Structure 1
Amino acid sequence: MLRSLAILFAGLLLSSAVLAEVPPKRFDVKPKHSGSFDAPGVVAAELDEQGYLARIDLNSPSDVESALLRAESWFRSGKLASGQPPLAFVIHGPEVAIFFRENYEKYRPIVDLAAKLSAFEVVNVRVCESSTSDLGHAVGHLQPFVDTVPFGPAEIERLVNEEKYLYF
């Protein structure tokens, strides 16, 4: 277990060294939108300091991975404004299992990408405590970079309605 964490940490350090050598491109124009970004290939200007929430509709590991890859693409292309809050990922339902420590080997590419983006403060992964419990686990079984919320759907509603987050 410690060896796996050491390898993950070394990978994060190497990734940061590579990314540090490639300065992000910035755009001067603010985006013209009032809704959500659904397409990963959206040609957009630098995003303002608006909060964004990952759209995860299929409750599947591949849907979570697709959203993480979109976030990574935005980060690498320089579309994220400095000072912008991390992109929110609120995970509830069966896909919570992705982030159980015991499932690391099964979901390694997804977990490693989420950990890397979390370390760079590109994303903030929040997992539903209710779903965690429904799957027979305690929050202590989650990966260390994952935050929790009492009830995922309520957190999504709060972010969209009160904090005015937009889906991406």
Structure 2
Amino acid sequence: MKISYCTTCKGRLWQLKQTLEHNLSFTKVGEFELCILAYNDDTVEPYLNEAFPEYIADGRLKVKTHHDDYQPIDGSDFACGYVKNLSHAMGTGKILFNLDADNFIDNAHELLLQLKAGQIIKNTAIPLDGRSGRIGVYRTLFKKVGGYRDTGRTDDGDFVLRCLKDGAKLLHMDCELAPIPNQQKEINHDL
């Protein structure tokens, strides 16, 4: 069973550089892939092509730059749900796992190997530090509920609720590795 880890990146290459080596360690030709959508960001694809050509060549890493001026239906400044749907469309796995650029795969990998159709896996992020950007479902459930809605930045909870309303069983995941802080001043600028 193939698993696709789906990541979006817009102005977050500095975070991706810190999570990528860990996340790529979970890829395996024909079984696990990392799909990265560089949304309105021309820095990600050239970096990945230069730094990880062997992963791209064998299909463990997929990268695509996408440019458009899409506006969310709720008037917010970023179409998070729309962009996540684009990254999930890149995946070819039976299981799609949203993995924000600042997050590590961590123990999700083992849990996804046991995931069944009709289940959704989500981190129970406490503290609320961004770990909630890890959500996994079968592709069939993702399509059945229509993926993420175009509601700007508040899309994860809505997606999970729609899966639950469809009858999916929620599986909780505790992640040991905290995400990369969302402020560059907290990290090394040389990345």
Give the structure-2-normalised TM-score: 0.28
Higher strand share: 2
